[in-house]
Amino acid sequence: MPSTADVPFLSLNTGARIPQLGFGVFQVPPEDTAETVKLALDAGYRSIDTASMYENEKEVGDAIAQSGLPREELFVTTKLGNHDHGHDAALEALDASLERLGLDYVDLYLIHWPIPSQDLYVETWKALEEANADGRARAIGVSNFLPEHLERVVTETDTVPAVNQIELHPRFQQEGSRAYHSDHGIVTEAWSPLAQGGDLLGDPVIQEIAQAHDRTPAQVVLRWHLQLGNVVIPKSITPDRIASNIDVADFELGTEQMESIAGLDSGDGRVGPDPERFPS
Ligand code: NDP
């Protein structure tokens, strides 16, 4: 049985630490969210990734409150919705999220999508800097930002994002973004780290490595992420998967196995939307 102590931490540019493996709740129906998050907390997860767009922040907050865990042991991330860009709207959106979560602060607040056609993300970022300064968001970051969007934030504002949460898995490895993040001290957080559990997990390369370690394909993929230095937030509503996805501390992929998985990048293996165009 894995324990919280087995999950490594990465340091953010704020000095705070983020668990390298957390729990995502996209597409967990609100009516199932409190029970699912309870299962995750019981299994040892201490980082929960939600968003106003997931419409389950209240239920995440209920599970946190019911857990009785000290607030400082938890790392809670939520995200600014696409209709909440702009200075005042952004600050109001954060307050609304905190209210739904029943929390005084979040550990990480992300701009969910840059929406370049709207060209408001720099203004929105400046509002997040204020929320960071007054403590409502202990760290601030972005999601789905391409290097060109990050570059504008870095050059036009005073704060480098702590995190960029992007689609990343063996079929879509995002080397360019990872290099930009690494050059600027930005933590890479992988969404859909299992490529949404699709046929990646049946890939013969992943299957063979899983057999060699007597692990599940999902554990192999998550281990690959951790060894690359990514934060991962796999989602599951299935109790045994919730437990096994966090149980990845006690095996290690060899160099050749890491290279075999690196070879699975298809260049255009996205399972989600393209940030340049979403939402259209
Ligand atoms: P994941 O890659 O985490 O895959 C989730 C899917 O894989 C579910 O269908 C789940 O099924 C299945 N699965 C989970 N564990 C296993 C396993 N061990 N074996 C086989 N199948 C498994 O995809 P998500 O898109 O959910 O991404 C994870 C998180 O990333 C989200 O919950 C959200 O927090 C975040 N995210 C952020 C986005 C952004 O724009 N910032 C966009 C998308 C996601 P089941 O639940 O039935 O067990």
Q: 23, 26, 219, 231: which to mutate for ligand 1, most atoms within 8 A of CB? A: 26
* 54 has catalytic annotation: yes
List of domains in the chain: 4-197+221-251 (3.20.20.100)
Contacts of 91 (CB under 8 A, 6+ apart): 127, 130, 131
Residue nearest to atom 12 of ligand 1 (CA): 197
How does pLDDT run along the chain (280 residues), one tens digit per residue?
556 768 999 999 999 999 999 999 999 999 999 999 999 999 999 999 999 999 999 999 999 999 999 999 999 999 999 999 999 999 999 999 999 999 999 999 999 999 999 999 999 999 999 999 999 999 999 999 999 999 999 999 999 999 999 999 999 999 999 999 999 999 999 999 999 998 999 999 999 999 999 999 999 999 999 999 999 999 999 999 999 999 999 999 999 999 999 999 988 899 999 999 998 7
Residue nearest to atom 46 of ligand 1 (CA): 236
- pTM value is 0.98
Spatial distance between the Cα atoms of 114 and 268, rounded to a whole number of angstroms: 20
Residue nearest to atom 13 of ligand 1 (CA): 197
Catalytic choice (45, 54, 109, 121): 54
- Ligand 1 shell residues, CB under 6 Å: 24-26, 49, 112, 143-144, 165, 191-197, 201, 216, 218, 233-238, 241, 244-245, 272
Written as six digits, the tokens of 43 are 């299994």
